[in-house]
Amino acid sequence: MKVRSRFAPSPTGFMHIGNLRTALYAYLIAKHENGKFLLRIEDTDKERFVEGSLEVILNTLKETGLFYDEGPDIGGEYGPYIQSERKTIYMEYAKKLIEKNEAYYCFCSKERLDMLKSNSEAVKRPYKYDKKCLYLTKEEIEENLKNNVPFVIRQNNPINGTTVFDDIIYGKISVDNSELDDMILIKSDGYPTYNFANVVDDHLMEITHVVRGQEYLSSAPKYNRLYEAFGWEIPIYIHCPLIMKDAQNKLSKRFGDASYEDFKNKGYLKETILNYIALLGWSPGTNEEIFSLDDLIKIFDYRNINKAPAIFDEKKIKWLNGEYLKKLSLEEFNDLAMPFYKKTLKKEYDFLKLSSLLQLRCELFSDMQEQIDFLDELPDYESDLYIHKKMKTTKENSLSSLEAILDSLRSLNCWTEDTIHEGLNALIQRLNVKNSIILWPLRCALSGKQFTPGGAVDIAVLLGKDESIKRIEKGIDKLR
């Protein structure tokens, strides 16, 4: 079998993490078997359409390296790949179903349908259309069509018996036909519903593996009935588990943790995002967790996808991002960090030096802010900061250290890591004290913080002589 899978997003304006995972799994299934992966845009629901969505979809797939073999912008043998450009095809197939009595015209007004809905609500039953229009005579139908009475086309589902379908993840599922609503296939605007278009297109585009979110599982029996009505082969279904923030809550747009863009804006690398979402519901069966896209293509087996909802673990994705950041060259790290530096720091620094201090201890760019904000402006700190048991520093000895440091550093003509080191070492020797007696108070005075990227000398280099001297003087004032 030649494997063909597809990613079929609706243009809703942003790339949900769950959608990107669907795209990734579909891509991996195809590429693992040397098959084809294609992109189809499902835009028949005009109300959900958001301007600019197509660009978001195309850019995200390109950026993450999920290259498709066929799609709206590159064409292919099975096009067009945008559903609104295939409108006539769906109508043609809906009419075929009408001929087979597997579908029918429905002319019911909105008022009548609303009434049916409120009736079912009143008796607490799920709403189902009552098939009234199935019993219209040929003449009545023709009359209505001639008079341009608005219509939809509905699927004609049996009311007895059961429909069974297979899902790779969820197994065999059997549903009583009496539960199947006669869903709308063609809407009154002439466009197909997603429910109809996905079946027609998956067949015409010869899709072998349908990967999609678990929310479509309950509709799958109705899709199977459509395949059967046409006499078409049913594809392999892979419904992926939900992705949750925690046991109760979904990821949400509002909290900035739902879309690919949200994670990019926080500074996650695209490699991290892709690697992490691969693990949302799938595992390779080993303890390994770091995979490139090529690794995934080799080892991905969709049969190992889990049914249980996947919990999105921010701690873990942060850790993973830290691992990816460590692998970058210093220059790459610096280039990627720069927009985040510029957000926090208005003054100029030796950013490459700053990056060398941060690269091994940074998990996420957007968390760096509090590690570096002291550079532009010394924070207001308490003099207690100088008291450190392990460093053996007190306010008293810190004061004398800072006074000695001030003299020694002031006299330096050249301000480099080496000269500062030499100056401080000479001081340590002369006073015959432990390193920490000098270095801890200096770090406190320069940063106003207990934790800093790099040590006192690194910070002094970054700040430059004038600013360092000013801060040491401030420390002295504070301790006097």
* Catalytic residue annotation: 253
- Cβ nearer to ligand GLU, comparing 194 with 365: 194
The total number of residues shown for the chain amounts to: 480
CB-CB contact of 425 with 437 (8 Å): no
Q: From CA 38, how far away is CA 161, in angstroms rounded?
A: 36
Report the nearest approach of ligand GLU to the CB of residue 297 (Å).
21
Report the nearest approach of ligand GLU to the CB of residue 446 (Å).
53
Report the nearest approach of ligand GLU to the CB of residue 277 (Å).
16
Q: From CA 114, how far away is CA 34, in angstroms rounded?
A: 50
Q: How many CB atoms lie within 10 A of CB 308?
A: 9
Structure tokens at 383: 């003099």
Between strands 152-155 and 103-106, the pairing is antiparallel
- Cβ nearer to ligand GLU, comparing 6 with 478: 6
- Cβ nearer to ligand GLU, comparing 93 with 341: 93
Greatest pairwise CA separation for the chain in angstroms: 110
Secondary-structure percent of the chain, ordered helix, strand, coil, rounded to 5: 50, 10, 35
Q: Which residues bind ligand GLU (CB under 6 A)?
A: 8-10, 42, 194, 198, 212, 216
Q: From CA 324, how far away is CA 333, in angstroms rounded?
A: 10
Report the nearest approach of ligand GLU to the CB of residue 278 (Å).
18
Q: From CA 461, how far away is CA 238, in angstroms rounded?
A: 57
DSSP assigned state of 328: S
Q: From CA 448, how far away is CA 387, in angstroms rounded?
A: 13
Report the nearest approach of ligand GLU to the CB of residue 202 (Å).
8
Q: From CA 241, how far away is CA 253, in angstroms rounded?
A: 19
- Cβ nearer to ligand GLU, comparing 26 with 273: 26
- Residues in CB range of 32: below 8 A, 6 or more apart: 297, 298, 300, 301
Report the nearest approach of ligand GLU to the CB of residue 15 (Å).
10
Phi-psi domain of 344 (left: phi exceeds 0; alpha: psi -120 through 50; beta: other): alpha
- Cβ nearer to ligand GLU, comparing 216 with 232: 216
